[in-house]
């Protein structure tokens, strides 16, 4: 069978794939896009968009239950219609995916192949009965939930972040195994929908990559809403108990008994079934495609973008990968991965926005540093909104004034963090933030005040 020739092949329709196809097609290239399931990848279909839609529903229920705190009287108890919540979530996802599909269909120079792509050689892939060849191939295959081989795990009907999106009944008791970003988002969400929720984490604290004060504040937020949290869990095992699931996690405590179990124990890249060995593409011990600072693999003509390259596990890092590849290929603009600053959010309520280094990382670096911190109880906008959990913290280099990092755990923390992140990209010193005039009343207005009150980091 002769292969069909293209100027470029993009494998995977996630956050980096379609925009790259758009740029390549606009530059006059003939492009093949291969997607084995849904256009839009994790973000549109099982990640950011559907979950944040559900977070919004959960927030509405939570706020309604607090109506009396704001002097608002409701005629009866607050309930949720989970089928309507799911229908709203499905509409948001389907609309977003549909718009992407229409955009791709309108590209005259793009051919969309539905199926699983596997390498036959460094410039040829097979999709079903079709052979495609191109001098440039871009991997954007994403990742999936990790399911460790824990005792009994395959004997129970566990859920992952993806299968949670298909759940059409509200769990009476959801057990969440894992204590990081995805797990905590689901834990609070379903607690607000009315489920009993238990979180089991093997590490000694939640969100282990954060500073200890951040982890403690997050724990407090969850426990204040009636979520049962167990950290420092021992060996975890699963077993059916009638129609329920028993999760054993401690020799000193009884097992948690729940109607549903969510496994949120990390992610693995979708690279094990691509035939990368036939192309000679190198992967690391965890299966991530090895790339350089411009996202090139060890094989000339093959790039890797998004979650499959281990350079980030977020929609924004995937999209930035596209921007880096396009800038180098099409714009003569030598952008690189090492230029970006780590930034992300945890979408519990209130959300955590994070950028740059943590306090622990700064201490480990040995730099003389300054730190400023303010609890949300001393932020007027938070007090006015009745949302005073959390705090803000800024770190700066004591010798150069360089802003090293920031955490905003509180109302609008996922938005307010960009005040600091953008200054870091501009390489502006902490004095620039200290002299800025921010709008009152906002959460962000206290960032300059904190910048004026920095003290040596002990």
At 1 the pLDDT is 67
Closest to 394 in 3D by CA, of 321, 446, 319, 439: 446
Neighbours of 3 (CB within 10 A): 16
Around 321, how many Cα atoms within 13 Å sit in the side-chain half-sphere? 30
At 2 the pLDDT is 84
Instruction: Report percent pLDDT > 90 for the chain.
Output: 98
Q: Is the pTM of this model over 0.85?
A: yes
At 104 the pLDDT is 96
Read off the pLDDT of residues 124-140 as tens digits, 9 standing for 90 and up.
Answer: 999 999 999 999 999 99
Question: Contact at 8 Å (CB) between 111 and 35?
Answer: no
List, for the chain, all residue ranges whose pLDDT scores fall below the cut of 70: 1
Q: Mark residue 306 as left, alpha or beta (left: phi above 0; alpha: psi -120 to 50; beta: remaining).
A: left
Read off the pLDDT of residues 162-190 as tens digits, 9 standing for 90 and up.
Answer: 999 999 999 999 999 999 999 999 999 99
- Residues identified as active-site: 440
Question: Contact at 8 Å (CB) between 395 and 357?
Answer: yes
HEC string of 145-202? ECCCCCCCHHHCCCECHHHHCCCCCCCCEEEEECCCHHHHHHHHHHHHHCCEEEEECC
Please give the order of strands across the beta sheet that includes 352-356.
343-346, 352-356, 403-409, 391-397, 369-375, 455-456
Domains recognised in the chain with CATH numbers: 4-143+268-339 (3.50.50.60), 153-265 (3.50.50.60), 343-456 (3.30.390.30)
At 409 the pLDDT is 98
Supply angle C-alpha 10, 14, 15, rounded to 5: 105
What percent of the chain is helix, strand and coil (3-state, nearest 5)?
35, 25, 40
How far is residue 114's CA from residue 78's CA, in Å, rounded to a whole number?
44
């Amino acid at each position: 069978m002769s292969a069909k020739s293209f100027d470029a092949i993009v494998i995977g329709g996630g956050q980096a794939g379609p925009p790259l196809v758009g740029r390549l097609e606009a530059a006059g290239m003939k492009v093949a896009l291969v997607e084995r399931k849904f256009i839009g990848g994790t973000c549109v279909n099982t990640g950011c968009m559907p979950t944040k839609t559900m977070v919004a529903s959960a927030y509405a229920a939570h706020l309604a239950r607090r109506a009396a705190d704001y002097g608002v009287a409701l005629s009866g108890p607050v309930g949720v219609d989970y089928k309507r919540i799911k229908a709203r979530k499905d509409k948001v996802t389907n609309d977003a995916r549909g718009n992407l599909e229409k955009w791709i269909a309108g590209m005259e120079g793009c051919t969309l192949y539905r199926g699983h792509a596997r390498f036959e050689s460094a410039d040829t892939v097979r999709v079903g009965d079709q052979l495609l060849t191109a001098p440039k191939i871009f991997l954007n295959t994403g990742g999936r939930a990790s399911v460790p081989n824990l005792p009994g795990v395959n004997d129970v009907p566990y859920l992952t972040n993806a299968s949670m999106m298909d759940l059409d009944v509200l769990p009476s008791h959801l057990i969440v195994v894992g204590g990081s970003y995805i797990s905590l988002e689901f834990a609070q969400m379903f607690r607000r929908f009315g489920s009993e929720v238990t979180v089991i984490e093997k590490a000694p604290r939640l969100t282990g990559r954060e500073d200890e004060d951040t982890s403690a504040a997050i724990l407090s937020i969850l426990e204040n809403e009636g979520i049962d949290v167990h950290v420092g869990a021992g060996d975890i095992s699963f077993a059916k108990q009638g129609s329920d699931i028993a999760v054993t996690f401690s020799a000193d405590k009884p097992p948690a008994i729940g109607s549903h179990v969510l496994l949120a124990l990390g992610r693995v890249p979708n690279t094990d079934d691509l035939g990368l060995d036939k192309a000679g593409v190198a992967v690391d011990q965890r299966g991530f495609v090895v790339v350089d600072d411009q996202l090139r693999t060890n094989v000339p003509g093959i790039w890797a973008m998004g979650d499959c390259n281990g350079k980030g596990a977020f929609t924004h890092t995937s999209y930035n990968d596209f921007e880096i590849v396009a800038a180098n290929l099409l714009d003569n603009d030598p952008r690189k991965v090492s230029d970006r600053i780590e930034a992300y959010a945890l979408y519990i309520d209130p959300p955590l926005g994070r950028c740059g280094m943590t306090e622990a990382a700064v201490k480990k670096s040995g730099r003389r540093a300054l730190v400023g911190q303010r609890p949300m109880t001393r932020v007027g906008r938070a007090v006015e909104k009745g949302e005073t959990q959390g705090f803000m913290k800024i770190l700066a280099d004591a010798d150069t004034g360089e802003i090293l990092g920031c955490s905003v755990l509180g109302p609008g923390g996922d938005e307010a963090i960009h005040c600091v992140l953008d200054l870091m990209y501009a390489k502006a010193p902490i004095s620039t933030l200290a002299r800025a005039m921010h709008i009152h009343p906002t959460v962000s207005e206290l960032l300059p005040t904190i910048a004026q009150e920095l003290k040596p980091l002990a």
